[in-house]
Amino acid sequence: MSKYENCKKSVLEASIWLSEAGFFGSHRGTGGNVSVRADEAALAITPSSVKYQEIRASDICVVGFDLSFIDGNDKLKPSVEAGMHSIIYQNRPDVNAVIHTHQIYGSIFSIINTPIPALFDEVSFSLGPVIEIIPYALSGTPELVNNVAGKLSNNANAYVLQNHGILALGKTLDKAILHAELLEKVANIYCLALSTGKPINTLPEAISELAMNIRNYEVQEAQGKK
Protein backbone atom coordinates (compact mmCIF):
# COMPACT_ATOMS: atom_id res chain seq x y z
CA MET A 1 0.00 0.00 0.00
CA SER A 2 1.27 3.43 -0.94
CA LYS A 3 2.10 5.78 1.92
CA TYR A 4 -0.02 8.31 0.05
CA GLU A 5 -3.13 6.11 0.10
CA ASN A 6 -5.08 8.26 2.56
CA CYS A 7 -4.27 11.45 0.65
CA LYS A 8 -5.37 9.90 -2.61
CA LYS A 9 -8.63 8.58 -1.15
CA SER A 10 -9.48 11.97 0.37
CA VAL A 11 -8.85 13.74 -2.97
CA LEU A 12 -11.07 11.21 -4.77
CA GLU A 13 -13.91 11.49 -2.24
CA ALA A 14 -13.83 15.29 -2.32
CA SER A 15 -13.75 15.35 -6.12
CA ILE A 16 -16.77 13.08 -6.45
CA TRP A 17 -18.75 15.14 -3.92
CA LEU A 18 -17.87 18.41 -5.68
CA SER A 19 -18.79 16.93 -9.07
CA GLU A 20 -22.14 15.60 -7.84
CA ALA A 21 -22.89 18.93 -6.13
CA GLY A 22 -22.34 20.79 -9.41
CA PHE A 23 -19.19 22.68 -8.44
CA PHE A 24 -17.31 21.64 -11.58
CA GLY A 25 -19.95 23.07 -13.90
CA SER A 26 -20.99 19.72 -15.42
CA HIS A 27 -21.54 16.17 -14.17
CA ARG A 28 -20.02 14.46 -17.21
CA GLY A 29 -17.07 16.77 -17.78
CA THR A 30 -13.54 16.77 -16.40
CA GLY A 31 -13.20 20.44 -15.47
CA GLY A 32 -11.80 21.59 -12.15
CA ASN A 33 -9.21 19.90 -9.95
CA VAL A 34 -8.53 19.01 -6.31
CA SER A 35 -5.29 18.52 -4.41
CA VAL A 36 -3.86 18.05 -0.93
CA ARG A 37 -0.38 18.61 0.44
CA ALA A 38 1.04 15.06 0.54
CA ASP A 39 4.27 15.82 2.42
CA GLU A 40 6.83 18.60 2.75
CA ALA A 41 7.47 18.85 -0.99
CA ALA A 42 4.71 16.92 -2.74
CA LEU A 43 1.01 17.08 -3.54
CA ALA A 44 -1.68 14.59 -4.50
CA ILE A 45 -3.91 15.85 -7.33
CA THR A 46 -6.64 14.66 -9.67
CA PRO A 47 -5.52 13.36 -13.09
CA SER A 48 -6.12 15.25 -16.31
CA SER A 49 -9.08 14.56 -18.62
CA VAL A 50 -10.70 11.71 -16.65
CA LYS A 51 -14.35 11.87 -15.59
CA TYR A 52 -14.63 12.03 -11.83
CA GLN A 53 -16.99 9.04 -11.69
CA GLU A 54 -14.34 6.97 -13.47
CA ILE A 55 -11.36 7.92 -11.28
CA ARG A 56 -10.04 5.39 -8.77
CA ALA A 57 -7.89 6.25 -5.76
CA SER A 58 -4.93 4.62 -7.53
CA ASP A 59 -5.36 7.12 -10.38
CA ILE A 60 -4.74 10.16 -8.16
CA CYS A 61 -1.32 11.57 -9.07
CA VAL A 62 1.34 12.36 -6.50
CA VAL A 63 3.95 14.78 -7.79
CA GLY A 64 6.73 16.84 -6.30
CA PHE A 65 6.48 20.60 -6.12
CA ASP A 66 8.66 20.53 -9.23
CA LEU A 67 5.89 18.36 -10.82
CA SER A 68 8.12 15.27 -11.00
CA PHE A 69 6.22 11.95 -10.81
CA ILE A 70 6.20 10.22 -7.41
CA ASP A 71 3.19 7.90 -7.23
CA GLY A 72 -0.04 6.99 -9.01
CA ASN A 73 -1.10 5.64 -12.38
CA ASP A 74 1.86 6.35 -14.64
CA LYS A 75 -0.44 6.16 -17.68
CA LEU A 76 -2.29 9.27 -16.53
CA LYS A 77 -1.05 12.83 -16.41
CA PRO A 78 -1.67 15.06 -13.40
CA SER A 79 -4.06 17.96 -13.85
CA VAL A 80 -2.73 20.67 -16.14
CA GLU A 81 -3.21 23.01 -13.17
CA ALA A 82 -0.72 21.09 -10.99
CA GLY A 83 1.74 23.99 -11.26
CA MET A 84 -0.90 26.38 -9.92
CA HIS A 85 -1.54 24.11 -6.94
CA SER A 86 2.19 23.70 -6.35
CA ILE A 87 2.90 27.44 -6.22
CA ILE A 88 0.15 27.85 -3.62
CA TYR A 89 1.65 25.21 -1.33
CA GLN A 90 5.10 26.70 -1.73
CA ASN A 91 3.95 30.21 -0.82
CA ARG A 92 1.23 29.48 1.73
CA PRO A 93 2.32 27.20 4.61
CA ASP A 94 -1.17 27.53 6.12
CA VAL A 95 -2.72 25.77 3.11
CA ASN A 96 -2.94 21.97 2.94
CA ALA A 97 -5.71 21.63 0.35
CA VAL A 98 -6.62 23.46 -2.86
CA ILE A 99 -9.81 23.25 -4.90
CA HIS A 100 -10.31 24.77 -8.34
CA THR A 101 -13.94 24.77 -9.51
CA HIS A 102 -16.17 26.20 -12.21
CA GLN A 103 -19.12 26.90 -9.89
CA ILE A 104 -21.85 29.07 -11.37
CA TYR A 105 -22.10 32.20 -9.22
CA GLY A 106 -18.40 32.43 -8.50
CA SER A 107 -17.81 32.21 -12.24
CA ILE A 108 -20.16 35.13 -12.87
CA PHE A 109 -17.67 37.39 -11.11
CA SER A 110 -14.87 35.89 -13.18
CA ILE A 111 -16.43 37.31 -16.35
CA ILE A 112 -17.53 40.68 -15.00
CA ASN A 113 -14.07 41.06 -13.45
CA THR A 114 -15.46 42.25 -10.13
CA PRO A 115 -14.02 41.41 -6.69
CA ILE A 116 -16.49 40.36 -4.00
CA PRO A 117 -16.28 42.72 -1.01
CA ALA A 118 -16.75 42.02 2.69
CA LEU A 119 -20.48 41.42 3.06
CA PHE A 120 -20.83 38.90 5.93
CA ASP A 121 -18.56 38.40 8.91
CA GLU A 122 -18.71 34.59 8.67
CA VAL A 123 -17.48 34.72 5.07
CA SER A 124 -14.87 37.43 5.67
CA PHE A 125 -13.36 35.69 8.71
CA SER A 126 -13.05 32.45 6.74
CA LEU A 127 -12.08 33.71 3.29
CA GLY A 128 -10.64 37.17 3.86
CA PRO A 129 -12.17 40.64 3.61
CA VAL A 130 -12.11 40.72 -0.20
CA ILE A 131 -12.32 37.90 -2.75
CA GLU A 132 -9.94 39.26 -5.35
CA ILE A 133 -9.69 38.65 -9.09
CA ILE A 134 -6.61 36.86 -10.42
CA PRO A 135 -5.86 38.15 -13.95
CA TYR A 136 -6.57 35.82 -16.85
CA ALA A 137 -4.03 33.49 -18.40
CA LEU A 138 -4.52 30.27 -20.33
CA SER A 139 -5.07 27.15 -18.20
CA GLY A 140 -1.92 25.25 -17.30
CA THR A 141 0.49 27.99 -18.37
CA PRO A 142 3.39 29.53 -16.45
CA GLU A 143 1.61 32.87 -16.87
CA LEU A 144 -1.35 31.63 -14.84
CA VAL A 145 0.97 30.24 -12.17
CA ASN A 146 2.69 33.63 -11.95
CA ASN A 147 -0.64 35.46 -11.78
CA VAL A 148 -1.79 33.25 -8.91
CA ALA A 149 1.53 33.68 -7.09
CA GLY A 150 1.14 37.44 -7.36
CA LYS A 151 -2.07 37.42 -5.31
CA LEU A 152 -1.19 34.97 -2.53
CA SER A 153 0.36 37.56 -0.22
CA ASN A 154 -3.10 38.83 0.76
CA ASN A 155 -3.46 35.54 2.71
CA ALA A 156 -7.04 34.97 1.55
CA ASN A 157 -8.65 31.54 1.32
CA ALA A 158 -10.55 32.20 -1.91
CA TYR A 159 -9.95 33.88 -5.25
CA VAL A 160 -11.78 34.34 -8.53
CA LEU A 161 -9.85 33.37 -11.68
CA GLN A 162 -10.75 35.82 -14.43
CA ASN A 163 -12.78 34.16 -17.23
CA HIS A 164 -12.13 30.78 -15.64
CA GLY A 165 -13.53 29.88 -12.22
CA ILE A 166 -12.53 30.01 -8.58
CA LEU A 167 -9.85 28.84 -6.16
CA ALA A 168 -10.64 27.77 -2.60
CA LEU A 169 -7.84 27.05 -0.13
CA GLY A 170 -7.94 25.45 3.28
CA LYS A 171 -5.98 24.09 6.21
CA THR A 172 -7.78 20.81 5.51
CA LEU A 173 -9.67 19.46 2.51
CA ASP A 174 -12.93 19.79 4.44
CA LYS A 175 -12.15 23.47 5.07
CA ALA A 176 -11.32 24.05 1.41
CA ILE A 177 -14.70 22.57 0.42
CA LEU A 178 -16.42 24.77 3.01
CA HIS A 179 -14.63 27.81 1.58
CA ALA A 180 -15.84 26.93 -1.93
CA GLU A 181 -19.36 26.73 -0.53
CA LEU A 182 -19.03 30.04 1.29
CA LEU A 183 -17.72 31.72 -1.86
CA GLU A 184 -20.68 30.42 -3.82
CA LYS A 185 -23.07 31.63 -1.12
CA VAL A 186 -21.72 35.17 -1.05
CA ALA A 187 -21.36 35.30 -4.86
CA ASN A 188 -24.98 34.23 -5.27
CA ILE A 189 -26.25 36.84 -2.80
CA TYR A 190 -24.01 39.61 -4.16
CA CYS A 191 -25.12 38.89 -7.73
CA LEU A 192 -28.79 39.09 -6.74
CA ALA A 193 -28.18 42.23 -4.68
CA LEU A 194 -26.42 43.96 -7.59
CA SER A 195 -29.36 43.12 -9.84
CA THR A 196 -31.69 45.25 -7.67
CA GLY A 197 -29.71 48.38 -8.50
CA LYS A 198 -29.83 49.41 -4.86
CA PRO A 199 -26.75 50.40 -2.81
CA ILE A 200 -24.78 47.50 -1.30
CA ASN A 201 -24.00 47.62 2.40
CA THR A 202 -20.55 46.22 3.09
CA LEU A 203 -19.18 45.36 6.52
CA PRO A 204 -17.78 48.16 8.70
CA GLU A 205 -14.11 48.87 8.05
CA ALA A 206 -13.18 47.69 11.54
CA ILE A 207 -14.64 44.25 10.83
CA SER A 208 -12.79 44.04 7.51
CA GLU A 209 -9.55 44.87 9.31
CA LEU A 210 -10.30 42.21 11.92
CA ALA A 211 -10.87 39.66 9.16
CA MET A 212 -7.53 40.59 7.59
CA ASN A 213 -5.77 40.32 10.95
CA ILE A 214 -7.25 36.87 11.53
CA ARG A 215 -6.05 35.63 8.15
CA ASN A 216 -2.56 37.14 8.63
CA TYR A 217 -2.26 35.59 12.09
CA GLU A 218 -3.18 32.12 10.81
CA VAL A 219 -0.56 32.34 8.06
CA GLN A 220 2.13 33.59 10.44
CA GLU A 221 1.27 30.82 12.89
CA ALA A 222 1.64 28.21 10.13
CA GLN A 223 4.97 29.70 9.08
CA GLY A 224 6.22 29.34 12.64
CA LYS A 225 5.33 25.63 12.66
CA LYS A 226 7.05 24.79 9.38
User: Rounded to an integer, what distance in angstroms lies between the CA atom of residue 188 and that of residue 108?
Assistant: 9
Identify the CA nearest to 174 among candidates 4, 18, 19: 18
- The helix (H) or strand (E) run that includes residue 3 is none
Give the separation between CA 215 and CA 33, rounded to whole angstroms.
24
81 is catalytic: yes
Please tell me which residue in 5, 20, 54, 81 is annotated as part of the active site: 81
Task: Name the DSSP letter for residue 52.
Answer: G
Question: What are the residue ranges of helices labelled H in 139-172?
Answer: 142-149
Measuring CA to CA, how many Å separate 24 from each of 1, 29, 108, 140, 214? 30, 8, 14, 17, 29
Catalytic residues: 81
